[in-house]
Amino acid sequence: MSSRPELPLDGFLVLDFSQFLAGPVSAMRLADLGARVIKIERPGVGDIGRTLAFAGLESDGDTLSFHIMNRNKESFAADLKNQSDLAEVKALVAKADVIIQNFRPGVIERLGLGYEDVKKINPRIVYGSASGYGTTGPWIERPGQDLLAQSMSGLPWLNGQEGHPPIPVGLAVADIFTSTHLAHGITALLLRRERTGVGGFVEASLIESMLDLQFELISAKLFDSATAVKRGAGAHAFLSAPYGLYKTTTGYLAIAMTPVPKLGQLLGLDLSMYEDPQSWWSEQSAIVKKLSDLLSTQSTDHWLAILDKADIWCAPVLTLPELIESEGFKELDMTQETVRRGKSGAEIKIPTTRSPMKIDGKTIKHRKGAPHVGEDTEKIRKEFLS
């Protein structure tokens, strides 16, 4: 893998023992920032994420999910239950800066690669561990899966309107936020190690990430025990009218925090009877109904022309095709293309998003695609183990 000295984690070696999403994406974030990531996989089958497909999409024998989560990595095939393979892995551990793992609690320790064991091999190691529900307590045996963690955290009750069933977020937010927290903790420990020479152990879990995401709600409940989720006519249980999404003749319009009478004046709708901000709560359903009836008569662009001019907090609700075709998306330059040599010998090109960060004013993009299982084993042996 080529060196990228302009990236902040260039020169750091990461061993990625993780599978499927939270762990691999955390390692991917470090790779985006310049770290060299070697994925430790089971011979033959590899990461289970190679077969679990997002939207049923796959290419060259691996799922699209695997391609995009494991871009810019190398693969070293090792059976951790085989003593010879395990000895090679421990030799790599001795030279690594970071380990990432997301086995179920207790599994990695039984393999002799828990933090306490690894620290004896490499005292400077920074060890990152992702789990579903932590390592203690009554939930630890539950499967660490995104929908399940969202549900355990209560998050689905915050989505939708009064009378609707709980609605989970339609993306793997628990996994994605956990990957970010884990990468954040790892980089913080690397910084501490540069100052003190001491490594460390960082843990992140799906459930803690979902609780952190709800820090306002949970803090409100702790501050006032009477706080409860009461979904109303809007799109947010804790924000008053006019906050919400409104159907137009061409799609939907989002309106955020805005004084109701001012909004009515701009739209040509008499809402003067709602001068008292308290009525924006008590009369939320009536206000939303009046706005909905009016906004449904014209296009989204029609209403945006009025509201944008007045600097009202509003936006179109873009569909996926509209987003991809929008000038704003193109200006952000959020895409990149990774390439790997396919099993047939042809180049396999995978379009995906880039890192959402810029470093020194520049976007971060990489061309190296996800590896085949064990693709780099012999090269890594020659470099580190001979």
Q: Kindly report, residue by residue over 217-271, the tens digit of the pLDDT.
A: 999 999 999 999 999 898 889 999 999 999 999 999 999 999 999 999 999 999 9
Cβ density class 356-378: b for 16+ within 10 Å, e for less: eeeeeeeebebeebbbbbbbbbe
At residue 49's C-alpha, the angle toward residues 46 and 54, to 5°, is 150
- What local confidence, expressed as pLDDT, does residue 343 receive? 95
Whether pLDDT at 152 is above 70: yes
Taking residues 22-37, report their average pLDDT: 98
**Torsions phi, psi for 126 (to 5 deg):** -105, 120
What is the rounded CA–CA span in Å between residue 36 and residue 25?
A: 14
pLDDT in tens, 313-332: 999 999 999 999 999 999 99
Contact indicator for 43, 77 with CB cutoff of 8 Å: yes
236 is annotated as an active-site residue = yes
- What local confidence, expressed as pLDDT, does residue 53 receive? 86
What confidence category does residue 74 fall into, taking pLDDT thresholds of 50, 70 and 90? very high
The pTM (predicted TM-score) of the whole model is 0.95
Percent of the chain with pLDDT over 90: 95
| 138, HSE (Cβ side, Cα atoms, 13 Å) | 1
**Three-state DSSP class for residue 322:** helix
- What local confidence, expressed as pLDDT, does residue 2 receive? 56
Taking residues 15-27, report their average pLDDT: 97
- What local confidence, expressed as pLDDT, does residue 217 receive? 96
Whether pLDDT at 5 is above 90: no
Q: Which secondary structure element, helix H or strand E, spans residue 289, and what is its range?
A: helix 284-295
**pLDDT, mean over the chain:** 96
- What local confidence, expressed as pLDDT, does residue 7 receive? 97
Q: Domain boundaries in the chain? A: 13-213+331-385, 252-316
Residues across the chain: 386
Which residue is catalytic, options 236, 302, 366, 372? 236
Instruction: Give how far the C-alpha of residue 269 lies from the chain's centroid of Cα atoms, to the nearest Å.
Output: 41
What is the rounded CA–CA span in Å between residue 349 and residue 372?
A: 14
**Three-state DSSP class for residue 231:** coil
Which tokens belong to 14? 């990461």
pLDDT in tens, 75-132: 999 999 999 999 999 999 999 999 999 999 999 999 999 999 999 999 999 999 999 9
**Torsions phi, psi for 86 (to 5 deg):** -65, -35
DSSP assignment of 106-135 equals THHHHTT-SHHHHHHH-TT-EEEEEESS-S
Whether pLDDT at 179 is above 80: yes
- What local confidence, expressed as pLDDT, does residue 232 receive? 87
Instruction: Give how far the C-alpha of residue 71 lies from the chain's centroid of Cα atoms, to the nearest Å.
Output: 15
Strands (E) across the chain are located at: 13-16, 36-41, 58-59, 62-63, 73-77, 98-101, 126-131, 200-205, 244-247, 252-255, 314-316, 335-341, 347-353, 358-359, 362-363
CATH of 13-213+331-385, one of 3.40.50.10540, 3.40.50.1980, 3.30.1330.50, 3.30.1520.10: 3.40.50.10540
